[in-house]
Structure 1
Amino acid sequence: MRKIAVLLLAAAGVSLAGAASAADLGTAPIYRKAPPVQVFTWTGGYIGGYIGGAFGANDVVTGVPVDGAGLPIFAGAPASYGYGSSVIGGYTSGYNYQFAPNWVIGYEGETGYIGLKGSSAYAGSATSIATTRAEGLYSVWAARFGYAFDRSLIYVKGGAALVDFETGVSNGTPGTHIDTMHTKYRLGYAIGGGWEYAFDNKWSVKAEYLYMGFDNNITTTGNLNGNGGTQVWTTTSLPGIHTAKVGLNYKFDMLGYVLGIVR
C-alpha cells in the first residue's frame, strides 16, 4: 500500500508540473510581423482648383487703321497701352508618375477665367479708341517634370496655351465711323514652375508661376462709314501674360478607378 501511495503522489507531481509548464507557455509573448510602412508616392491622377492673378508682360500696341492700299485713315502713331491686372481662377486635372526613385513626370491641364483689358485713344485722332481684352475662359495643356523630397515636389512645366482675345479700333465720330473689333482665339506657349506639398496621402497644396507667350499679331478688319464703306484693317501686337497662383489638389488611384468602371 505504501508503494502504491508513493507512486500516486509521484504521478500527481508530474501532472502538476506539466500543467504549470503549459500555463507558462500560454502566457509567453506572441511575436507578430510588423505591418509594412507605407511610403508616400506622387504616382496617380489628380483634380483640383486654383486662384491667383495675372498681368501683361509689357504694353499692347495697336497700329493706326489703314485702307486696302495700306494708307492710314488718319495721321498719328500706333496706340500703346497696358493690360492692367486680373484675378484668375479655375480647375486643374492631371497625372503624375514617380520613378527612380525621386523623379516625377506627368501632364496637367487647366481651364480658368481671366479678365485682362486695356484701351487707349490715338494721338492723331482723339475719338478713335484701340482696345484689347483677354477676357473669358483660357486653357493650358502642359507636361510636368520634377524632383520629389518625400512629400515636397519642385517642378517645371511647359506646353500650349489658348486664350480668347477681343481687339481692334472703334470710332464713333459722325462721318468717320470705324469698327474693326473682333474676337479671336490665339494659341501660344506656356512655361513655368512651382512647388507642391502633400500634407496628406490624398491632398496637396501648390504655388506656381506660369508665363503665357503669344509671338504673333492679330489683324482685324472692318469698314469705314458703315457696311458700304471702305474696308479698313488694324494689326495688334500681343504681349505675354504673367500668372501666379495657389491651388489645392486631390490625388486618386486612376488605374483602380478605371478598373472599377470596367468591372
Structure 2
Amino acid sequence: MRACTSAASFACLLAVFLGAPLGAPLGALAAPPTEQPAFSWTGVTVGLDVGYAWAQASGHDCNWARTICPAYSTGADGIVGGAYAAFNWQVDHIVLGIEGDIEGSAVAGTSTFSTPSASYLFGHAVDQSWQASLRARLGYAFDRTLVYVTGGVAYADVFNDVWRLGKSFHSYSETRPGWTVGAGVEQALSDHFTARLEYRYTGFDSSENSVGTNSTLLQDLNQQAVRMGIGYKF
C-alpha cells in the first residue's frame, strides 16, 4: 500500500487510519447509517394495572311516602388494580383501538346523617368490590409515544349499608352500569413492552333501592381514578 506523503490529503490519512485502500472512493470510507423502521402500535396488547380511585356517593334516604328525605354524602377511596386487553390499529400517526379491563376494588367509605324526625344519627357505608369497562381509544403516535383519549361503558359491584344506633339497618349489593371517559399516555419501552399512565372519570347510573320496609335510598355515584400499567404487545 502506498504511503501518504506530507502533501497527502486528509482523506488519505483517514483511509490509512481506517485500513481502507488509498484508491477507494471517499464515499466508501463510511457507509450511511441504516434507518430504523418506525414503531407500529398495531396489534394486541395485554397487561396489568394498579391505581388509586376517589368516589362520591350522594343522595337521599326517604321514608315510604317520600315526605322526609334527608340528604347524605359519602366519600370513598382506595386502591384499584387488575388486567386489561387491547387491540390497536395504526394508520400513519393515528391509532384506533378497543380495550377492556376488569379490576378488583378496595374503594370504600362511611358517613353519618340525621333526620328531622329522629334525635339519633343514621349512617351510610359504600364499598366497591370490583369494576370493569369496555372502551374505544383514539390516539396520536409520536413514534414510540402514544397520547390518547378513551371512553365507553363501565360497570361496578356496589355494596351499600344503612345503619342507625350503631347497627346495620339494611344492606344490599348491586351491579351498577355507567359511562367512563379519560386520557393517558403510553410509551413503548421495547418492541414488546409498554408502560402507561391514565386518568379516568366514571359516572354510574342513579339507583333507587328499598331500605327495610319503610324507606328508599336514592343514590348518585361517581369516581375518579389514576392508573399505571405495564403491557406486553404481540
TM range (shorter): 0.7 to 0.9
Match for residue 171 of structure 2? 181
Match for residue 25 of structure 2? none
Match for residue 9 of structure 2? none
Measure how far apart 1:36 and its partner are: 8.2
The aligned runs of 1:82-93 (5 Å cut-off) are 82-83=75-76, 85-93=77-85
1:119–1:98: structure 2 CA closer, same or farther, 3 Å change rule? same
2:148 equivalent to 1:166: no
Match for residue 88 of structure 2? 96
Match for residue 124 of structure 2? 130
Equivalent pairs counted in the alignment come to: 200
Question: Which structure dedicates a bigger proportion of its chain to strand?
Answer: 2
Measure how far apart 1:130 and its partner are: 2.0
Name the amino acid aligned to 2:182.
G
Among 137, 148, 155, which residue is 2:141 paired with? 148
2:110 equivalent to 1:119: yes
Match for residue 49 of structure 1? 48
Among 180, 204, 208, which residue is 1:214 paired with? 204
Moved over 6 A (4+): none
Measure how far apart 1:39 and its partner are: 3.1
Name the amino acid aligned to 1:123.
S
- Report the Cα distance in structure 2 between the residues aligned to 1:70 and 1:47, rounded to whole angstroms: 49
1:64–1:39: structure 2 CA closer, same or farther, 3 Å change rule? closer
Match for residue 191 of structure 2? 201
Name the amino acid aligned to 1:201.
D
Question: In the TM superposition, what whole-angstrom CA distance separates every residue of 1:117-167 from its partner, at most 9, and x where no partner exists?
Answer: 22223223435322222x211101100010101101000000011011112
* Identity value in percent: 26
In structure 2, list runs of 5 or more residues that go unmatched: 1-27
What is the TM-score normalised by the length of structure 1?
Answer: 0.69
Contact 1:66 1:232 in 2 (8 A): yes
Contact 2:158 2:173 in 1 (8 A): yes
Question: In the TM superposition, what whole-angstrom CA distance separates every residue of 1:87-143 from its partner, at most 9, and x where no partner exists?
Answer: 1111110100001x111001011111122222223223435322222x211101100
Match for residue 230 of structure 2? 248
Among 217, 220, 224, which residue is 1:238 paired with? 220
Contact 1:52 1:87 in 2 (8 A): yes
In structure 1, list runs of 5 or more residues that go unmatched: 1-28, 224-230, 253-263
